[in-house]
Homo-oligomer: A and B are copies of this chain.
Amino acid sequence: MIGIAVVGYGYWGPNLVRNIMDLPDARLVYVCDLAVDKLSGVKARYPGVEVTTDFDEILRDPRVQAVAIATPVSSHFKLALKAMMAGKHVFVEKPMAASVEEARRMVDEANRRGLVLAVDHTFVHTGAVRKMRDIVQSDFGDMYYYDSVRVNLGLFQRDVSVVWDLAVHDLAIMDYVLAEKPVAVSATGIGHISGQPENIAYLTLFFESKLIAHVHVNWLAPVKIRRTLVGGSARMIVYDDLEPSEKIKVYDKGITLNDGPVNAADEAYQMMVGYRIGDMHAPQLDMREALATELREFVQSIQDHTQPTVDGMAGVRVVSILEAATQSITQRGRIIELEQSRLIA
């Protein structure tokens, strides 16, 4: 039975609390937040859980073996480091930290102390994304592209840009689904409100191979879109997270290259490129709540001394792209090499 404390009871904290309450092998010991009124709400709803505004109280308590951090990004590093220094395992919201430097130091600390450091890339634990990875990594042929659109009329965040708020999801999914890791990024974007970070952005990721990836995020769209196209030489996928059940559609479509001189006349050329249009298939998906799966795995990792699916290095890779993209945007698309990324892949 693993004792857990949840730190931060804002937007995501209540979901952590609800799911930890239902875990068979864990016990929610504390909820910690600076807002006293939120804590009294927790107490009314879960009388058996202790509440506190004092993070250090949690760290001193031997009943707490793990801390789940759901505070603003800027505090992740400090809180996670203190927790690990007190010997606690850590489950931290995405993005893992506010910089690659911070993220790396978190990984180092976890490694040094043999602690589990899991990053909450929630989508990775959905049935849709797991199925997508299965298909992409089995019979997809050559990887051609990964293209994602994640837009809506969204809550403006004061401290982070739309890249750190929305693109982080796509980068996390991509890190899990694709075997290859990106080597460079070119990004563009703009903030429409004076003094505020970007609310619209476009990221292109380059790879060693001919794979190209692109992410479009926007907080000012009139409609909500959550759609990813993945293309390979043997299969193509449309992943639409807003579809109630058929979220993943697999197409047996593509082109086939026939023999023939490339500089033949027009008709001959079109015969050289053939088009394959076959069946479409929407596999049944595991519809269980991703966060439940993820927290169960986190507890399991502590008990079995294993690495979680999304470990600290996955978090570092995602933060390194966020950081590079942010830099590229200020230089209107200048290519930024992800050198660290290659080292840490």
Interface residues of A (CB under 8 A from B): 45, 47, 72, 142, 144-145, 147, 149, 151, 153, 155-156, 158, 184, 186, 188-190, 192-193, 195-196, 200, 202, 204, 206, 210, 212, 214, 216, 218, 220-224, 229, 231, 233, 236-238, 242, 244-246, 249, 251-255, 257, 262-263, 266, 269-270, 273, 275, 277-284, 328, 331-335
Is there an interface contact between B158 and A266, defined as CB atoms closer than 8 Å?
yes
Chain A contact residues: helix, strand, loop or mixed: strand
Establish whether residues B253 and A153, one from each chain, have CB atoms under 8 Å apart when the complex forms.
yes
Neighbouring B residues of A188 by C-beta, 8 Å: 186, 204, 206, 212, 214, 333
B277 contacts A251, CB within 8 Å?
no
Apart from A333-B333, A334-B335: 9 A-B pairs, beta carbons within 8 A: A45-B45, A145-B200, A184-B332, A188-B206, A189-B212, A200-B212, A202-B204, A206-B332, A252-B284
A72, A216, A249, A280: residue with the most chain B Cβ atoms closer than 10 Å: A280
Pair B190/A212 contact, Cβ less than 8 Å: yes
How many copies the complex holds: the figure is 4
Q: Is the CB of A255 within 8 A of B332?
A: no
A216 near B147: Cβ-Cβ < 8 Å: yes
Whether the pair A158, B202 counts as a contact (CB closer than 8 A) is: no
Minimum CB–CB distance from A78 to chain B (whole Å) comes to 18
The residue of chain B having its C-beta at the shortest distance from the C-beta of A220 within the complex is B231
A335's closest neighbor in chain B, by CB?
A: B332
Which residues of chain B are near A229, meaning CB under 8 Å?
A: 151, 218, 221-223
Q: Please measure, in the bound complex, the distance between the C-alpha atom of A105 and the C-alpha atom of B189, giving whole angstroms.
A: 35
